[in-house]
Amino acid sequence: MRIFVAIILAFISEAALADSTGEQTRGDRAPDATDVISGLYAFSRFQQGLLESTDLKGNAEVKNLAALRAEEATMRDKALKEIQDAIGAEPRASKAKSAGTSLDKPDDTDGPAYVRSFYAAQIPEYESMIGLLERYLRTPDNPALAAFAHAHLPVLRAQLKDAERTMDDK
């Protein structure tokens, strides 16, 4: 009986996990290289969207940070492209949220409401990306991508903490 309950609980918990594109993982399958590459590209598009949003409205603080994150995304994408080409993975098109739509709400372009929304928009994206990389690293299917994930995970965690801390301070 305990085994049956354990199997049911394992199935339920696995079905509840979602990857960074908002789609559920297929059965008990861990994310593969294509899932991770697709998620990383979607995350980069999100970070580029932050920059585009701050070009329209926002103060110097958020513009500078958005430019830095967009530059980091570009560098990450270049390194990721090499891995993608080496393993022959074709990323799937994902339904990434546009950062601009979530940041258009506040009317006060220099005020704390905009700055808080800027940081608040990033937190779930970072959490999703970190979760995807952690799940991938449990059973990686490509050593180069696993090394890439290991190298980028601490950076993403630090950026998440910075976003949370800054949002709390505003």
> What is the token pair recorded at 132?
């995807």
Quote the CA–CA distance of 129 and 96 in Å, as a whole number: 12
Angle at 139 between CA 133 and CA 143, to 5 degrees: 80
Segment among 42-46, 93-97, 157-161 with least mean pLDDT = 93-97
Element of type H or E holding 66: helix 60-87
Confidence grade of residue 91 (pLDDT, cut at 50, 70, 90) = confident
- DSSP secondary structure, 139-164, as one string: S-S-HHHHHHHHHHHHHHHHHHHHHH
3-state secondary structure at position 32: coil
Indicate whether this model's pTM tops 0.75: no
Residue ranges covered by each domain of the chain: 2-169
CATH 3.30.70.141: does it fit domain 2-169?
no
> What is the token pair recorded at 90?
């074709």
Dihedral sign of CA atoms 164, 150, 45, 135 in order: negative
Segment 124-153, tens digit of pLDDT: 999 999 999 999 999 999 999 999 999 999
